[in-house]
Structure 1
Amino acid sequence: MRGLRLLLAMAFSCLWLPSSRGKTLRGSFSSASAWELQGQSISHFQFHGDHALLCVRINNIAAAVGKEAKLYLFQAQEWLRLQESTQEDYSCTEKLSKAPLTMTLNHTEHNLTVSQIPYPQTWYVFYVDKFTCDDDFENSELEDISFEMILLNPDAAGNPLDHFSAGESGLHEFFFLLVLIYFVAACIYAQSLWQAIKKGGPMHMVLKVLTTALLLQAGSALANYLHFSSYSKDGIGVPFMGSLAEFCDIASQIQMLYLLLSLCMGWTIGRMKKYQSRPLQWDSTPASTGIAVVIVIIQSILLLWEQFEDTNHHSYHSQHNLAGILLIILRVCLALSIGCGLFQIITVERSTLKREFYITFAKAITIGVIICQSVSMVILYRLFLSHSLYWEVSSLSSVTLPLTISSGHKSRPHF
């Protein structure tokens, strides 16, 4: 366990990673940055509904008017398409002219309603002024314009008061329910679990590892709930709590990896005769110990790498980057190792009691996977049976997706 604590101390560095970016932004509009990047990137937000709102407050109207300062809003797909194009395809001015929404900054406060959105869309916000596309721009001493920007979606009543983007909607309620479930479970089982841990026995270390992982998961859920509770009010939240939730999540995953490696390598249930008093032990052979340590270190590195790669930091990840994909591969390999180990143990085990235990353990893993798959299928059905979401799920939906449905059109297969 001492080596594991060192790894957890390494993971503690993620506390200094920024939490998920708030939707109340404060900063400065810079002509130099806008010129260098052909538009200063300010933020992105997934708007939805008919009354989504972008509110901007600036402190220097004279500088904004003198620079002819503006905000340009691009839909994500259109902006990425423009980014992939070359200067021969579109000049700087031509790129910016394709922005569907613009806002001229000539007052202290500006409100822009983003309406008529049939489904959630990600929009990028850029600052642009008269120097942005100027090839001869050399003045880097222009005064920056301080700003405060608030991005809002409509709430349940249709009023623009919700700081959460469409991709984050429901997280606050989810973590509240999760914390409530942990609290109820603790009230029911905490005393008996504590007595079992104090009592000791052959599974003493297993119970300690499982309980530690569970407590870390509960701590992550509580920290996320506190962060999102504050976030729902001011659009900023408590960044420290968001980072603390990430740390607890990483530490819990490492704890579970330690336990699962022990199981699949046979250090717990396969070596009971050798270690009666302390079954959760590393094997004495250097090879097995080296494999376990290397796998734990690799997962720790991949988890931290994933945190740095994801610009919107939170304890849930979409696994779109290389680190996330490698983590999935590692976990699949670990699952296969556990399955093979259990199969071998079950086939040679003579004790009926032990064999039943191993079979029940395998069933628990299988049932958990099936439940997760079923929930995913329900979510996918919801997406594909929804007329508008199914129609817009891909820019090539009319060509690649069968049985496309849209209001006013009959469904027909595409071949």
Structure 2
Amino acid sequence: MKTTLSSIISDPSLAPEGKLKIDWVQAHMPVLNRIREQFAKDLPFKGLKVAISLHLEAKTAYLAKVVQAGGAEVAITGSNPLSTQDDVCAALVEDGIAVFAKYNPSPEEYHSLLERTLETKPDLIIDDGGDLVTMLHTTRRDLLPGIRGGAEETTTGILRLKAMEKDGSLQFPMVAVNDAFCKYLFDNRYGTGQSVWDGINRTTNLVVAGKTVVVNGYGWCGKGVALRAKGLGANVVVTEVDAIKAVEAYMDGFTVLSMEEAAKVGEFFVTVTGNRDVITGAHIAQMKDGAILSNAGHFDVEVNLVELEAMSVSKRTVRRNIEEYRLQDGRKIYVLAEGRLVNLAAGDGHPAEIMDMTFALQALSLRYVNDNYESIGKQVVKVPYALDEQVARAKLESLGISIDTLSEEQKSYLDSWAGHE
């Protein structure tokens, strides 16, 4: 379906490079390919407009094309200023999708691109971090009557949505894709774990083996980052505020310290909490010369750069995506990708095979909310388990893996409270 909307992108001539990227990921996303074929037959979004705000790189672009195949008129923007890839944007425009995104826009321009995406008057949305939802509930409330619902990608976004639901502000249903099994077990753990270290290693070109890596937060993303750091030969320290997760990290073989203690021993730091001020000036004051700070949480607030700048006598770019801050005592602290998502701002994000499952959930969840928005109401809902299982089974089939099925006798046994011997 060709769009009639005008796009705002950096360079249309980059389209051939972007197309190659999209073709590559499409070849490695078999689950989404299957959904695209089904959508093309069923046209579940025929006559509807869909607005998408995600990290705009090749895998996201292919999701947009899958939604388009379902009959939708699609408009897309980026969810982070440094993760947008201009060549991918150009390729999507050639495919008839309205794109409002550029790499590294100013804060004002970034905001205007989000608003321009909403000005397409969508019926459905896919959000990452809650920016579209927040704008719809604040400066663009005039568009609320037309919104049927949507799906949210991230932990941060779901926290914002649940806060809105709790105080009665949420005006349409949202599906919490991040909370689905096929999202957090694979995307958050294995996807984040690999892509974070892809970004750090590509950017720094330094050895990880033998170094002390501090992972702030031991949720599913933190688990993945810690596991991959261990695989690279690092000594891994975990900091936590949740006692249960701290015990889990300890039993997984990691050293657990307070951030005050960890600041003194760390050489690489990776924040993965979704909260602000995880690393502050007080922590930085304790760090070793040459400490490298990076963030894998959605917003650039986990490392307090304002306090770091105030402590510094100079700042300079020493490599692409590396800023060197020199403190008054001569120590140097390095920050990767301006404290933004290091795996996307300084890398290509999660592997295609991982995002195949996540974006399959997004596509199916969007269809689910469109079919059921009236009965769901103004709340945050889980991805139905049947959709989770559908994605998992499709993934297994794409790998040529078969699994067992319970017999009727086994099902009866599990369902019965009597006769267990």
Shorter-chain TM-score bucket reads under 0.3
> TM-score, normalised to structure 1's length?
0.23
Between Structure 1 and Structure 2, the one with more helix by share is 1
